[in-house]
Amino acid sequence: RRGKMAKSTQLIDNEVFRAYATYTAIVLLKMMLMSLITAYFRMTRKAFANPEDTATFGKGESAKKYLRTDQDVERVRRGHLNDLENIVPFVGIGLLYALSGPELSAALLHFRIFTGARILHTFAYLIPLPQPGRGLSWAAGYLVTFSMAYKVLKAAWLL
Amino acid sequence: RRGKMAKSTQLIDNEVFRAYATYTAIVLLKMMLMSLITAYFRMTRKAFANPEDTATFGKGESAKKYLRTDQDVERVRRGHLNDLENIVPFVGIGLLYALSGPELSAALLHFRIFTGARILHTFAYLIPLPQPGRGLSWAAGYLVTFSMAYKVLKAAWLL
Amino acid sequence: RRGKMAKSTQLIDNEVFRAYATYTAIVLLKMMLMSLITAYFRMTRKAFANPEDTATFGKGESAKKYLRTDQDVERVRRGHLNDLENIVPFVGIGLLYALSGPELSAALLHFRIFTGARILHTFAYLIPLPQPGRGLSWAAGYLVTFSMAYKVLKAAWLL
């Protein structure tokens, strides 16, 4: 049993896989941070989605007015959903790409641009920066994922 | 070819990986269940998002009134989106954690708390339970994922 | 180091894994396409979510009227969210299924039905096709994922 375990956990000794693990953990933690930012804005703006969340503000009508949408909360939520839409493909395609045997330097280039682009995208969304700041950071991450998908399909193609 | 296949499917013989596979399948099936619950509430509350979904209720104005939001439907949808936001990081970071060679007992502890927390979170959202029930179950899953991310970064760090 | 790398990137030589990689890349690219379709409808319908996105249409009130929801944009966004809700379980459970050692023919059957069903689902949503077109294509993908989850749990079960 031990022998098998050692063999199957070897992936973590592969440098490309270690880079993938590092950058994937970073972008997923960044995405998780959006939940805390949403909670922060919900509490400071007093804007909640569920009646049970407003119970600490009293009962009945006095609490009901906090069941509302707030533009700062909605902005963070749009950023969070955009993360899901873009980070999910990165995590899935990036894993396949890391296993397809790329050069470490090429893999690092892809992972670094994607991670940098998504961090920039979050700042561009939350500050907010004037366009095309957010658009370009979104496009950079999109193109990196597309490039990895191309390499996966070239290496693995079996339809 | 056969030899290579046998080798590469060996992961499933690793006990930590088997535990990861079991708990990941369970939380993803739980998340998929939200689609059925949404469909159930859409049909019993007669609240739909697309005109073509209301065609069985007649044509024109008589069907149009079913194109509406319903608070029970929206509650399930918020629970579903919260699952996506939290289960995606668990699946991604959990895979890397399982491959980083943790003790089986430590891995089981992480996977069990996360899975239990997300099942509790769903009940807390749908019943609904008074706060901080839902908040605490959300935080438990969040902290478990954070703990796994820390261990992945410690084992794999290559920036 | 090189020896280890060669060993750990071997997964890509496994035919079932190659099929998984091919279909996963295809469905994730299809999901990514929804972002471009959303952007297309936002620009042709002039319906934006962020004030900074309307700056090219002038300042003040003249730009503010483009901060609105449009039913074509919302339709694409519902399709995109439905993709996330269904493709995330496929990618996660499909990976575990591919590693559980299925026959290539059985694996191809699962991956092909899922991918075909999600492409049909997108057409059914965007054209839109009358129901139960969209419902059936959704159910086909759902059942395939469920079938893979059953096989993963049977092969890996360790609670």
Q: Per residue in B121-137, pLDDT tens? A: 999 999 999 999 999 99
CB C12 within 8 A of CB C18: yes
Chain C residue numbers with beta carbons less than 8 Å from the beta carbon of A15 are 1, 5
Residues in C closer than 8 angstroms to A99, CB to CB, are 8-9, 11-12, 17, 21
Q: Any chain A CB within 8 A of the CB of C113?
A: no
Rounded to 5 degrees, φ, ψ at A67 are -85, 85
The size of the A-C interface in CB pairs under 8 A is 103
Identify the band that residue B12 occupies on the pLDDT scale cut at 50, 70 and 90.
confident
Of the candidates C102, C105, C84, the one whose C-alpha atom is nearest the C-alpha of residue C94 is C102
Q: Is the pTM of this model over 0.90?
A: yes
> Is there a contact between C98 and B6 (Cβ–Cβ < 8 Å)?
no
In sequence order, what are the beta bridge partners of C48? Answer: C67
Give me the mean pLDDT over the C127-155 stretch. 97
Any idea which of A7-21, B61-75, B104-118 has the lowest mean pLDDT?
Answer: A7-21
Residue of chain B whose Cα is closest to the Cα of A11: B99
Q: Are B76 and B38 in contact (CB under 8 A)?
A: yes
- Residue C5, pLDDT score: 40
Give the pLDDT band (50/70/90) at residue C7: very low
How far apart are the CA of C39 and the nearest CA of chain B, in angstroms? Answer: 20
The arithmetic mean of pLDDT across residues C29-37, rounded, is 98
Indicate the pLDDT class of residue C105, thresholds 50, 70 and 90: very high
Q: Any idea which residue has 């050069």 for tokens?
A: A103
Q: How many residues does chain C have?
A: 159
Q: Do B156 and A50 lie within an 8 Å CB cutoff?
A: no
Beta strands in chain A, from DSSP E residues, in sequence order = none
The neighbour count for residue C30, using CB atoms within 10 Å, is: 16
Question: Other C-beta atoms within 10 Å of B144: how many?
Answer: 23
Percent over 70 (pLDDT), chain C: 94
Query: What ranges do the domains of chain C cover?
Result: 14-39+70-158
Spatial separation of the C-alpha atoms in residues C76 and C107, rounded to whole Å: 30
Cα(A156)–Cα(B51) distance, rounded to whole angstroms? 41
| Partner residue opposite C89 with nearest CB, options B1, B28, B53 | B28
Instruction: Write out chain A's pLDDT in tens, 159 residues.
Output: 344 444 444 788 899 999 999 999 999 999 999 999 999 999 999 999 999 999 888 777 778 899 999 999 999 999 999 999 999 999 999 999 999 999 999 999 999 999 999 999 999 999 999 999 999 999 999 999 999 999 999 999 999
Answer yes or no: is pLDDT of B1 > 80: no
Give SS3 for B76: helix
Contact A10 C1 (CB under 8 A): no
- Mapped to the 3 state alphabet, what secondary structure does chain C carry? CHHHHHHHCHHHHCHHHHHHHHHHHHHHHHHHHHHHHHHHHHHHCCCECCHHHHHHHCCCHHHHCCECCCHHHHHHHHHHHHHHHHHHHHHHHHHHHHHCCCCHHHHHHHHHHHHHHHHHHHHHHHCCCCCCHHHHHHHHHHHHHHHHHHHHHHHHCCC
Which has more confidence, B146 or C1?
A: B146
- Residue pLDDT, tens place only, B82-95: 999 999 999 999 99
CATH class label, B14-39+70-158: mainly alpha
Q: Which helix (H) or strand (E) holds B105?
A: helix B104-126
Cβ(B34)–Cβ(B76) under 8 Å?
yes
Give the residue from chain A lying closest to C92, CA to CA: A92
Cβ–Cβ gap C9/A99 under 8 Å: yes
**Environment class of C54 (CB within 10 Å of its CB; exposed 0-12, middle 13-18, buried 19+):** buried
* pLDDT tier, C57 (very low <50, low <70, confident <90, very high otherwise): confident
pLDDT at position C97 over 50 = yes
Chain-chain contact of B50 with C129 (C-beta, under 8 angstroms):
no
Nearest by Cα to C78 from C134, C139, C136: C134
**pLDDT class of C58 with cuts at 50, 70, 90:** confident
